[in-house]
Structures are given as C-alpha cells and as structure tokens.
Chain A
Amino acid sequence: MTTSPVHHAVLILEVDGAGAHPAAWRLDPAGPANVLQTNHTAQSVLAAESAGFHAVSFQDSRLAPEHGPEARLDAIQRAAYLGPLTHSIGLLPVTDAIYTEPFHLATQLSALDSVSAGRGGWIVSGTGNPVEGAAVGRDAVASEDLRAEIADVVEVGRRLWDSWEDDAVIKDVDTGRYLDRAKVHYVNFTGQRFSIKGPAISQRPIAGQLPIFAPEQLAEGHDAVLFGAPDLDALLAAAHEGAGSGRRFAEVEFLLDAAGESAAARLETLNCWDNTEPAHARFVGSAEDFTEFLRTLLPLVSGVRLHPAVLSIDAAEFAALVLPELRKSQLLAPITTGNTLREVLGLPVATNQFAAL
C-alpha cells in the first residue's frame, strides 16, 4: 500500500436536489419546489466550502429520476454558477459520455475550469439506456460497448484540452499575429462511433486537464475511480481489495442522528414515503459511529463521495460533528485557496501531449 493517500483523503459531498433519499424533498421547510432553486444549491455548496469539504458533485441524468423530484438543472451549469461564488472547493458535475456530443462536452467542461479558476472536474456517467438514446435520436449502446465508447470520448476530450498549447496566444504586434498557429493542433481523432477534427475553440484549461472520475466498471482514461458496494461491510472489503491501486473513491450514503431524533427513526419516517433500495451503501447511526467507520475506511482509499440522505440536515450534522474529528485525526488533505482541483487531488501537473511535437 502506498502511504500518500492515507493521510490526504478527499471528501466529496453530493449536493443534488434535496438529498439522496427519494423522500428528502418532503422535509424541506422551503417547500418541494426548492430543489430547483439556485439559491438552495448555492447555500449547500457555500456551507460545504466553509466546513472544509474538498469538492462537491452534482448528480445528473438525461432521464428524470424515477424516485424523488423529477427535475434537475444541468449539472455543468450548476457547477459553473458556483464557480465565481466559491474559492477553494472542487466542482464535479456528472455528465453522460455516451449520447452527448463529445466536442460540446469537452468545450463545456473547459469553460467550467475557466469560471472556477481550475476547480472543475468531471464524473463520467454512461448507461447506454435506449430511452436516453431515443431522446437524442440515437441507437442504444450495448453495455459491453460502453467502456470502449467512454474511452473514445475521454480520449478526444483530453486531446481537445491539449490542442492549444499554454502559450498559443502571442499577441505579436510586429507580425500582426494574435495566435501562434504552430501551437494550435488538429486532434484528428477517429473513434468507433465518431470522428473529430479539432482543434478546440478556446484556450487550454487552467488545470491543463480536468480531473476525470469514472465508475469502476466504466473507467477508461480516468484519473480516479468511484466504487460502491451494497452495504458497509462489502464497501470496506472492496476498499481493502483495491487499496494501493490508483486513486479510488468510495461511494457512501449516510443518515445521522439529528435534533434529538435517531437516524433509525428518521429513516423510518422517510421510508414510509418511499423505501426504494439506496443506490449506495448506507450508513445509519450516530456521528461518532460514522466517524469511526470513516477512520477505518479513509486510510484505504483516496477519498469518499458522500451522499447525504437529507442534504440540509445530514450535510450539516456531518460538517459539525464528523468532519472536524477526521481533520483532527490527520486523515484529510489540506484545504488551500487558489489550488486547482488537480492539486487538491494530488495529481501531477498535466503535461501537454502536443507540446513536444
């Protein structure tokens, strides 16, 4: 096992909607429509930044969720909105790679990097779901083809981000040249389902390359893997198994005791409305026990993506009671204003694949 990730774990807070539990919207004192209010998301993210989370993620899908609020603002736009309002926190939208235009996607993510001073990243999603395909008029992509298709989309994105060298804009008054065309490169990518000529239509991202997260089964060309498990024991086992092999982030939902009510009682109330199986391993209990669980988990992983069951309640409890304890235990990566998300994640400086040509 390597030593570096052990003491520099990264906490990603998922801030979509009212929380991970499909009935969470019912408890929002500001009303059901609040999940679509930008202010609501902004407050959650600003609170997460103050509390010392390293990044927030924004879940998204081309299809309305089957459980919970059937509406979402675009994840890249939510992240972009938060760019100028925040200073240190990473912004990670979830975006489909299968049916989206790869050129648009790379351009949008590059702009997210720009508005956040290099704090943008990307969580790849891809289901190949035929209903999603029908929305954009394309055939379903078979599950065995998803990984290769994502590899193509990630590869072309990376080429486009590198297609302008850092010093491509020269503003040379004597020769009348704004751009040094020798430092702008066609990407000439040909994949299984698409080809792209390039170059990008804008400058290289501040971070050079945005950090790319991908679910374990779809991970190709990524910087970090997201993995989950049906329950907490299985999650720990998976963490043990994968420890030391690259950057790995565990996905965990959590529900804490709050305002004198036990987590179990809170869950019972929520489940009365909707007891759909959670998408991730779910912790239900006290802040102390969750801290203990994370003390065991964090040394085995690069970080966790935390899905609060009820965003307004569980994220606040975590920030007040769990996060400071983890910080005291010296398990967390430092927070520094002005760092790119790459730096927070401990990724090396991104060298430009075209610079040596």
Chain B
Amino acid sequence: MSTEQTTKNYIRLGVFFQGVNSNTVWKTPEAGSQTDFESFRRLAQTAERGLFSAFFLGEGLRLREHLGAVHDLDVVGRPDAQTMLAALAAVTTNIGLVATQNTTYNDPADLAHRLASLDLLSGGRAAWNIVTTDNAWTGANFRRGGYLDHQDRYTHAEAFVETAKAIWDSWGSEDIAATGRQASWLRPGAATPIEHQGAHYTIDYTSRLPRSAQGRPVLFQAGDSAEGRDFAARQADVIFSAHTGLQAATDFRTDITARTLKAGRAASAVKIMPGAEFILAETPQAAEEKRRWVKEQQIGPQQALAYLEQFWGESLEGIDPEGPLPSFDPKISESDVTRGSGFQGAKAVELTREWRETATAQGLNILEFVRVKSGRSDGTFAGSYTQVADRLEQFAARGVVDGFNVTPWLIPNGLDDIVNHLVPELQERGIYPTEYSGNTLRENLGLDALEPATTKRHSDKTIIEVGA
C-alpha cells in the first residue's frame, strides 16, 4: 500500500439490481416494476451516464419461502440475467454486464458458451459473478437435484471455472479466415476439444466461439469463508465483498492481498468492491430524515415479525410488533436456507437470547430492534453529498477498496441522486473517472490485460483432471 496519498486511487462504482431482497422499498409510489425491461433499461442507462463500471444482476433459482410457503413480503421476480444483459447490451455502450450464475446447477460447457456469447455480443463487457449454491432445496428445479455436498462446493466450482477458462481460451479471431478465399472459415486444428473428467461430471466439448475483446469474461466472486477467499484469490478478477466499513475493508484488503500473493498472482490482479447502500440528500439533516424513512419503508410490522420468525422457526402471529421480543426460545436450533443464504445456518437459540438481552438493555421493541438489526449498518453511506464524498475520499486515500457495488433501495430511480450529485463531487476530488478508459469491462475496472502466455496453446487437446 502506498505510504501517502500522493496518488489518489479511483473509487469505481457498480450497481447491483438485486431483484429479491428486503432492502428494496416498494410501498411508495416512486417504486417501479422489478421485472419490466424498462426498469432494467432505466437503471443501466442511468448508471452508464454516471460512468459506472458495471451493472450487476443477481440470481435466484428457487422462489424464496418463509415457514414452508412462498415468501410474500419482499420484492421478488428475477428475469434470466444473461438474457436481460444481452438486451441491455443493445442499449448501452460501455458499462460492464455482470451475471450471477451458479456452478452447481449449470452445465459447464453451456454456461461457458453463454457467457462467451454475451461477452462477444457486448464487445467485451461481460462478467460472471460465480456463486456455489448447493442445497437440494434449490436442486429440486434441476435435472440432478441436490447432488453436491456443501464441503465440496469450491472443489466443484474450481473445476468448473478451470474448464470454462479452457473453453474461453480455445481459439481467437486470429484463427478466422482473413479473406473469403481461404480454404476454411476456421483454421483447421484451431478449435481443440476441451475434456474434463472429475468427480462430479465428465465433459467433452469443442468451443464454438473465439476469445472476446477482453480475452474472456471478467470473473467476480463473493464467497466470504476462508475457502471462498482462497478460491477468489486463485480465480477471480474482482471480489464483491461484504466488508464495507473503513476498518473492515482495510482488514479484508490485507487478508486478500496475502492470499493473492500466496496464489502466485500480483496483488493488483484482484479488485475489491464491497456492496453499499447510499442514502443521500442536500443537507445532513435531510439525509438523516431520509435514512429513517427508508428504514421504515424497508421494515414494516409484518417484515419485522417475519424476520424473527426466520430464527424462531415458527409463526409469531399474535405477537405485538411494537412489544418486546418473544420471551420463549426458538423451536429450531439452526435457521434454514429457504429465505436465502443470508439467513442460513444461524445458531438460533444462542442468537435470539443475545438479541433479547440487547433489545431489553436498549429499550427497543420488535420493530425498532429489527430495523437496527437487519440490513447493513456499516454498509450504508448516509449523509449529504459532501459528507459522503468526504468519506469515500478516505477509502480512496487508503486504497482499501477499488470501488463500491451500489445496492439501490429504489428501482428504477435509485441511482439518480448518486449520478447527478455524488459523482460530480467525487470527480472534483479527482477520485472518480471522468470518462470510460476503454471499451471493455477489464479496462474500465482498471484490470491488466490478460497475459498473452495464457492465450496461446499448442497441444492438440486440453485435458483437465480433478481428483475424484
């Protein structure tokens, strides 16, 4: 890390259109559709006007449930990510297009092909946010069901990513005939079969697409376990982290730098972009009022009770949301996966006892407690444009993050104040790009071009073996 802030680092921004979550405000008239293409277009074009590096889509492969029935209190509906991004490629020119896609319930050759296709179609702007959801509950929508043990998920994901990288690196535009007079369209022998034989699948596939303008899709990763971090250090270009506070981000950067160097890569090869919510206004007072209003909109009485029910494991109907937390212990020992990974595997009894004590000590009722508890406390930048720009300047000076992935609390207009007011403040401070530095996502994230050595291969076949 640099000793002094002689060179200011850029803070880049991405936007994460979550689709399913409890932070998106929907009870207000300004809230638009979660699923209509117009919302996607509006958000992506606003982000591009603000020179955002990336437009990010989440993925859900099964509709969330609450106590055994479809969860009905949050925004929901996620049209297929890559199909939406392919359409957005037609109405944007520079912004990166990031699809969250699962390694467990996709076939490597098919997913690699679709991502390569999106990358070519967008002129080198595609990225893949790698997730490893493995539970059988999600698997109920797929051919193989729940076939993967939780502890195997990164071994499996790594084999998947290695296979995808080999597919993407099969051949390039230099292998395509230069004129119509050549003997064949593709240089014979250029497209070599990629074989993978492993514990979980066997594939034999010949790529039908060349490398893109950025070589291959950029790889994002968000897993936060030690295994997930090592996986990112070995494979990813960008980490979508949950460590947004200045100290947490500093610690995280130190940890990732060590892991990246250990994996034999340059520290700068892995960028870090934590998720963040922005609540902005002209003045600090107005921003604080807005922050409180947003929180109230996000968590109403029903959402507060449902939040607790997730850890109590039963209906808390009849309990007053404006009264104290339930006096009895949860029926379950661990929360399950059906409301999403954020709720997964919490030690329910210990956790809720702790909560009860905290709430009593601070004099908070259920509604107030959940409003404090849920969502990201250090992941929210609330304040006047100037205040928030000042805070971001500290991040830029320390160089602990490469940017933030904005999770807008309002769709589709949730970026307007960031783009109209915050971005110009950041640009004045010299910590935000004033133009796109290139046409590809790699360039616009400040990533180095891929090593030419990794894009040449001479053997006839590529065989990847992963221990059984």
Contacts and interface: CB of A to CB of B under 8 A. Distances in A.
Interface of A: 25-28, 31-33, 36, 38, 42, 62-64, 68-74, 76-78, 80-85, 99-104, 107-108, 110-112, 114-117, 131, 134-137, 169, 171, 173, 175-181, 184, 193-203
B35 A114 contact: yes
Given A84-B37, A181-B70, A77 B86 contact: yes
A110 B80 contact: yes
Given A70-B191, A83-B87, A202-B79, A33 B176 contact: yes
Interface in B116-149: 117-118, 120-121, 123, 140-143, 145
Contacts of A42: 90
A108 B208 contact: no
B301 interface: yes
B63 A77 contact: no
Contact of A114 (B31, B37, B303): B37
8 contacts: A32-B176, A62-B109, A70-B186, A135-B107, A176-B301, A184-B70, A195-B140, A198-B63
Interface in B71-125: 71-80, 82-84, 86-87, 89-91, 105-107, 109-110, 113-114, 117-118, 120-121, 123
Interface of B: 26-27, 31, 34-37, 41, 60-63, 69-80, 82-84, 86-87, 89-91, 105-107, 109-110, 113-114, 117-118, 120-121, 123, 140-143, 145, 173, 176-182, 185-186, 191, 201-206, 208-210, 300-303
A178 B123 CA distance: 38
Given A110-B79, A176-B300, A176-B303, A197 B109 contact: no
A25 B185 contact: yes
B208 A84 contact: no
A70 B82 contact: no
Contact of B204 (A27, A134, A198): A134
Given A74-B114, A101-B142, A111-B84, A177 B72 contact: yes
B87 A178 contact: no
Contacts of B118: 74, 77
Contact of B78 (A77, A171, A201): A201
Nearest to B114: A74
A82 B143 CA distance: 31
B180 A28 contact: yes
B209 A107 contact: no
B87 A80 contact: yes
Q: What 6 A-B pairs have minimum CB-CB distances, sorted nearest first?
A: A176-B302, A26-B180, A111-B83, A115-B87, A77-B86, A197-B140
A85 B86 CA distance: 12
Contacts of B78: 201-202
A135 B205 contact: yes
A84 B41 contact: yes
